[in-house]
Amino acid sequence: MAAQDSGPSDATRPATAGTEPTSDDRGEGASRRLAADLRRACEGDVRFDEYTRVLYATDGSVYGAEPAGVVFPRDVDDVRAAVRVASDHGVPVLPRGAGSSLAGQAVGPGCIVLDLSRHMDGIVDVDPEERRAVVQPGVVQDDLDDALEPHGLRFAPDPASSNRATIGGGIGNNSTGAHSVRYGITDAYVEECAVVLADGSLIRTRDVVLDSPEWERIVSKDDREAAIYRTVRAVVEDNAEEIEERYPKLKRSVSGYNLQKVIRERETGAADDDREGGERVVNLSKLLVGAEGTLGVVVEATLSLVTRPDETALVVACYDDLLEALSAVPDALSLGTSAVELMDREVFRLAADSPEYAEYAAAIPDGTEAALMLEFDDETVGALPDAVAAATADLVDRGAAFEAVEAFSTEEQDRLWKLRKAAIPLLMSMEGDPKPYPFVEDASVPPDELAEYVAGFQEILDEHDTTAAYFAHAGVGTLHIRPVLSLKTEDGVETMRSIAEDVTSLVLDHHGSFSGEHGDGLARTAFNPKLYGPDLWAAFREVKSAFDPDWLMNPGKVVYREDDPTDVREHLRYGPDYASLEPATTLDFADDGGFSHLVELCNGCGTCRQTGGDVMCPTYRATDEEIATTRGRANLLRAAISGELDPEELYDERFQREVLDLCIGCKGCQSDCPTGVDLAKLKAEVKHEYHDREGVSLRERLFSNVDRLSALGSALAPVANRAADLPGARGLLERTLGVAADRSLPAFRRQSLTGWFDARGGPRVDSARATDRVLLFPDTYTNYSYPNPGKAAVEVLEAADVRVEVPDLGPTGRAAYSQGRLDLAAERAEALVDALAPRVEAGWSVLFVEPSDASMVVDEYASLLSDDRLDRLAANAYGVCEYLDRERLDERLSFDAPATSLAYHGHCHGKARGADHHAVGVLRRAGYAVDPLDSGCCGMAGSFGYEAEHHDLSLAIGELLRERLDASDGEVVVAPGASCRTQIGDFDGRDRPPHPVEAVAAALAE
């Protein structure tokens, strides 16, 4: 496979790309000269502007520090050039992938960040016969595994962040995951690396036989590579006893440098060597893995691969005591498991309260204090049912577990794995300033000492008057234990340092490693001298100096200068000096803990960078720009409310254009972000304040009053429709109002939906016969432009003996809300509540054809209005297919569905409130074969796709949907959203799809 460049086109790249440093940028002349030199040397973008520095100041850890700037290398030559320029200027370099590191590896004050995830993300080659792949560092692990799946192969390490974490980041951290019980960690699978050293030279690391002609050729030279090889060999051989004594004998140990693995005995066959036994080889790749970019920049890696099991099964053994669960780990390992994971009650509690994960936690029985999740695969055990039965018998019948949940289907297993993988971000969603922070969360001890280790850990927590959550990789003795602290206080920070000191001592007592997965970074580097002793600490420093004489490669990680020690208490994102403004708001943020708390819920885990499924974040998927992620926007909002940026920046035209306008209000973050950072709500609030200060444009006024515009267009139809087709009309609209000339406009119907309903004589199911009573809400698009879904809904409901009325009502206020005109949205909402509340009180339900209007009433009204009637209204408001499904009204009907298969594209707002699946159930019961697409946003997003400056980006997002549609076996697309149907209808060669309820109506038997 050829390397791929997935960088954004100029049409979809936000305006920050290539922005010059301003006079306010720190560094002044030196920064400008550095940026200028980098731009001359590199083909890729170079950005030193304030926004970019904020965007790259944090990762998934508790740390934050602004870099000098960011380079987006296009190729190896760019990396080499950037490193040389940095060396000339004496500026440190920090290679970075997705920025999901949890120990602060991807944070570096004053560094030049090399973002390798943008362009250097190719799969260079796959050799299925040799089970080997060659990749660039920026490739996302799930993307690599997807490419390997047709060959029955995959990359063995599987971190929970695999849907956005890059292979380069995994190499830097020596990452692993749930299956390390069977497969081990990354260093076992990296065979060769192409590495750019601190002087810009390029070397290739691989097995080199000591004292062979190749060895002599390398070390005889007078260059950096020769010095490295000579130093590494001397360090390892001189410290052999210390290495044997000090390095833990564990499957997971990723602190320090891999001195214990860089030289090894390699067996030789008779065809290769006449000598008996093996030969000693050195492979610097093993040293680079886990080095966190402190020794060089890995620009290509050759990986060994493993086969994929055909089938797996899970057993979740539930315990009413944490220590009893941990004591059962050795028994679980004896059963032939490929993974043994732990989750505790705090994970279950938070998942149950999360819209995204509540359904996954439903399988866990009440009273579960801790659960061990065991996986079996058909490569390690015989019959899976027998293995599962044996595990249940051993852990429940003869053990301390009180119940076992067994999962054989892929769907059941996926739900449980999603619950497990969500543990970290879920925990960070805890309300208030105290959070379960990562700083001692991945220490590893022998599995048979886990229970004793956790008992000791609990004593440390008791001494510091705090608690913790427990989860993760029990099978290899690695528990993610996160003490709950507030790092916004001096006492909290000092407590963090004290706990870390005590835990390192506890780890040493148990012959463990202070890091079994997430590496050293800023969180644990300070404790490496204690863990490894003075001799190996000196050896680490000697190795660092051989690779990087000026100590400019990601300084302060793994090792540090004696005159500049790494301190766990420095460079905290939320330290004692942190303070944030709590602005007066129009929306109610009480349930979110306040405006600032909602912003600060972003922990940097980077889930918004995933591209393989779910909704979040559409504009990132189309642009590959960090500023287009939920994390990026939250970081810039946080910087503004905390004073890192001028607080007035929130209301600057640039902030509105580059940060908020690219949030299309899909609400995907409401459900997909594990901590629930609701950017659509935050955007609406900030834009409202901006409008109060700067006024509202004519286009914003028109879009927020689209109901009145549509009513006028309907009254003037068909003349109104012809006006848009007059020569020059579309160009005039774009020049004067900014409405994209190439976007199809909605056609107006002379007879509205409400007019049609009145003309037919109103309801046709009398009250005596009616089993239910509903008001069908005539949304603007259905009422004036495309009434067929409304008519179909009436037909289906009446066929089920439901009395339907279609009252002539005003809009929900969705359009005004989306434009940030909250006062106008509130007026519309109050009027609608006044109209609907008495009918709801009388027992009527309210149904919506358009998902965004249902979402407005069910979700947004709670923050927009203070009205005691809202709860009852929200409880009785449904999407039309949601209502059919919940009430099982379709079971009253007879169907004779056309022999047509359907591809179902759901609406973002329906997904956000967990209501999108209902249509699929109804359609299947109506007799259709349905393929529910795991598709993201369509890119239309109400008015967004009509805005001239966003038209190209809207189409780019739409192309991602088109790819899903093209890959589906469905013959006909159905979509509940009016915007989605417009976008799909604008695709070349595609008809405008029907609403699902139209398909249901078409399936009704005569």
Secondary structure of 934-999 as H, E, C letters: CCCCCCCCCCHHHEHHHHHHHHHHHHHHHHHHHHCCCCEEECCCHHHHHHHHHCCCCCCCCCHHHH
| pLDDT reading at 21 higher than 60 | no
Query: What pLDDT shows up at residue 24?
Result: 43
Please give the mean pLDDT across all residues of the chain: 93
What are 545's two structure tokens?
A: 């100096």
Distance CA(880)–CA(735), nearest Å, equals 39
Q: Walk across the sheet containing 123-127 and list its strands.
A: 123-127, 132-135, 297-304, 190-196, 202-205
842/242 Cα distance (integer angstroms): 80
- Can you name the residues that pair with 301 across neighbouring β-strands? 135, 193
Q: How confident is the model at residue 20 (pLDDT cuts 50, 70, 90)?
A: very low
- What are the pLDDT digits (tens) for 487-525? 999 999 999 999 999 999 999 999 999 999 999 999 999
Please tell me which residue, 6 or 196, carries the higher pLDDT value: 196
- Residue 726 makes CB contacts below 8 A (sequence gap 6+) with none
- Give the percent of the chain with pLDDT over 70: 96
Task: At 812, give phi and psi (nearest 5°).
Answer: -75, -20
- Helical (H) or strand (E) element with 406: strand 403-407
Tell whether the model's pLDDT for residue 378 goes beyond 90.
Answer: yes
pLDDT at 841: 97
Quick one: pLDDT at residue 324?
Answer: 96
Residue 120 — very low, low, confident or very high, per pLDDT cuts 50/70/90?
very high
CA 442/CA 813 separation, integer angstroms:
48
Q: Nearest CA to 625 among 613, 644, 602, 609? A: 609
Dist. CA 315–CA 853, nearest whole Å: 42
245: which residues sit within 8 A by CB, 6+ positions away? Answer: none
Work out the average pLDDT over 232-258: 96
Neighbour-count burial for 885-900, b at 16+ CB within 10 Å, e otherwise? bebebbeebeeebeee
Residue corresponding to tokens 């001397």? 234
Q: Which amino acid, 49?
A: D
Q: Confidence band (pLDDT; 50, 70, 90) for 14?
A: low
Residue whose C-alpha is closest to residue 260's, from 185, 182, 168: 185
Mean pLDDT score, 78-105: 97
Q: Flag whether pLDDT at 13 surpasses 80.
A: no
User: What's the half-sphere exposure (Cβ side, CA atoms, 13 Å) at 525?
Assistant: 29
Rounded to an integer, the average pLDDT of 148-161 is 95
What confidence category does residue 277 fall into, taking pLDDT thresholds of 50, 70 and 90? low
Predicted confidence band at 12 (pLDDT cuts at 50, 70, 90)? low
Collapsing DSSP states into helix, strand and coil, what is residue 703?
A: helix
Per the DSSP assignment, residues forming a β-bridge with 93 are: 112, 553
Q: Give DSSP secondary structure letters for 549-614.
A: TT--BSTTSSS-BTTB---TTSSBSS-TT--------SS--GGGT-HHHHHHT--S--GGG--SSS
Determine the Cα–Cα distance for residues 993 and 1006; give it in Å rounded to an integer.
23
Q: Please, which residues bridge with residue 444 across strands? A: 478, 513
pLDDT tens-digit readout, 746-784: 999 999 999 999 999 999 999 888 889 999 999 999 999
DSSP state of 200: S
What is the predicted pLDDT for the residue at 11? 47
Residue 375, pLDDT score: 97
pLDDT of residue 7 exceeding 80: no
Find all residues with CB under 8 Å of 85, minimum gap 6, and list them: 34, 37, 38, 41
Give tens-digit pLDDT for 779-803. Answer: 999 999 999 999 999 999 999 999 9
